[in-house]
Amino acid sequence: MTNHNSPIGVFDSGIGGLTVLKEIRTLMPNENVVYFGDTARVPYGSKSKDTVMRYVRQIIRFLKTKEVKAIVIACNTASAYALFESALDEDIPVIGVIDAGVKTACNVTKNKRIGIIGTDGAIQSGVHAKMINRIDSQISVFGKACPLFVPFAEEGLFDTKLTDGVVEHYLSYFKPLDIDTLILGCTHYPLLINAIRRYLGDNINYVNPAYETACQLRELLLDSNMLCDADNTSVCEFFVSDCAKKMISFADMILGGENNKITALNIENY
């Protein structure tokens, strides 16, 4: 049985979801969290919808064994497939990272020209573009898949000469397009923001949906009286499907402090 002090479940294919978890912990420092990074099967962005949905269902089954009260799919690719193209039928709230970023981008664009970068799967799904045009059909949307950004982030190559090269390779697409807003449509990409900003400049609104997703989660928990007790001491548990040690160092770096309780498990058992 879940109750208001039950943990929030957060998952991603790897370390990208830690950028979302960081915002959740900043906004709701008392909440208990269970994070799962599917490090054995990353990347999701180049896999088929059926495969990603099988992974999503296994991870949700695992998180439910931890009696989570809500789940955040901290992955655009999985959010696109699970929340927009397939119906998930869960008895607890499940939110993704797409709506929040789309709404912010529509609010901040002045010239109504928005770029989106994401995985092959997220960009090909067209979900961001469809949602933007549902809000405002006058907005022109330009999507670009940047599949090498995920391995660069997973390798910790956030801010190197090589990163600059791969950023130029993909983002030169946007140079003639006069976009004033860019959605970081993959939760790994905020880790490369320095290189992205260096190439595209400071005159663009960079939308990292992590913060808005955390706000959306907080509202949802508040509305359903499911925020934890104000004096709860947060427990954050980390699970991965492989390479626990690598995840420990990323969790320590992205979240700050020591996050050494990381357990590897066989997610195929769920």
Tell me the catalytic residues: 75, 186
Residues forming beta bridges with residue 73, ordered by sequence position: 11
Report the nearest approach of ligand DGL to the CB of residue 67 (Å). Answer: 25
Q: What is the rounded distance in angstroms from the CA atom of residue 17 to the CA atom of residue 10?
A: 7
Residues forming beta bridges with residue 118, ordered by sequence position: 145
Nearer to ligand DGL, 28 or 150 (CB): 150
Nearer to ligand DGL, 76 or 181 (CB): 76
Nearer to ligand DGL, 6 or 77 (CB): 77
Do 79 and 85 meet the contact criterion of CB atoms below 8 Å apart? no
Q: Give the interface with ligand DGL as residue ranges (CB under 6 A).
A: 12-13, 16, 42-45, 75-77, 119, 122, 150, 186-188
Q: Which two tokens stand for residue 213?
A: 């997703």
Report the nearest approach of ligand DGL to the CB of residue 150 (Å). Answer: 4
Nearer to ligand DGL, 5 or 253 (CB): 253
DSSP E strands: which ranges in the chain?
Answer: 8-12, 33-37, 70-73, 94-95, 113-118, 140-145, 181-184, 205-207, 236-240, 262-264
Report the nearest approach of ligand DGL to the CB of residue 148 (Å). Answer: 10
Report the nearest approach of ligand DGL to the CB of residue 28 (Å). Answer: 21
Q: What is the rounded distance in angstroms from the CA atom of residue 195 to the CA atom of residue 193?
A: 5
